[in-house]
């Protein structure tokens, strides 16, 4: 899990939210003190395994804007009422993320310094298998 994922998890934990961290790389999940799931979050079955049906919010902070758009589209289809926060690396991608269903943020979602890695954090997800 990269810096953006860690900051997101700590913030949600401080709010008392349950958190599930998903990453393709099991090594990136070592030492994470929250429920984790190894898998590709662009796969709907992985999103469902996180407990997205009961989630309050989802934070998509994957390496590529295309993957973040895909996760946003899938998440919005699974949960029309879900709060979705997604990172964009370019202004063009920010517009696409908003069109795909991400909730608008108060600040620009573009930040090249937040190179995070393939991580998705779903808050208040319920239990993990």
- Domain span holding position 14: 3-123
Q: How many domains does the chain have?
A: 1
Query: Which pLDDT does position 119 carry in this prediction?
Result: 35
Query: Which pLDDT does position 114 carry in this prediction?
Result: 31
pLDDT, tens digit only, all 129 positions of the chain: 777 778 888 888 888 888 889 988 899 889 888 899 999 999 999 999 999 998 888 888 888 899 999 999 999 999 999 889 888 888 888 889 989 998 887 443 333 333 333 334 443 333 333
Residue 18 lies in a domain: yes
The pairing of strands 57-61 and 119-123 is antiparallel
**Distance set, CA 67 to CA 20, 50, 86, 88 (Å):** 18, 17, 10, 10
Residue 98 lies in a domain: yes
We report the CATH number of the domain holding residue 84 as: 3.40.50.720
Is the distance from CB of 120 to CB of 1 less than 8 angstroms?
A: no
Which strand (E) or helix (H) includes residue 45? helix 44-49
Q: Is 16 exposed, middle or buried (0-12, 13-18, 19+ CB in 10 A)?
A: exposed
Residue 129 lies in a domain: no
Query: Which pLDDT does position 72 carry in this prediction?
Result: 94
């Amino acid at each position: 899990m990269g810096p953006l994922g860690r900051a997101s998890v700590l913030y949600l934990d401080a709010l008392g939210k349950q958190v599930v961290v998903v990453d393709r790389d099991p090594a990136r999940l070592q030492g994470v003190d929250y429920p984790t799931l190894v898998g590709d979050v662009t796969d709907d079955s992985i999103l469902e395994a996180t407990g997205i049906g009961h989630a309050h919010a989802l934070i998509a902070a994957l390496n590529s804007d295309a993957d973040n758009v895909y996760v946003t589209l899938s998440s919005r289809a699974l949960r029309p009422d879900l709060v979705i926060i997604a990172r964009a690396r370019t202004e063009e991608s920010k517009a696409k993320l908003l069109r795909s269903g991400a909730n608008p943020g108060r600040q620009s979602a573009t930040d090249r310094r937040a190179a995070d890695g393939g991580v998705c954090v779903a808050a208040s997800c319920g239990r993990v298998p």
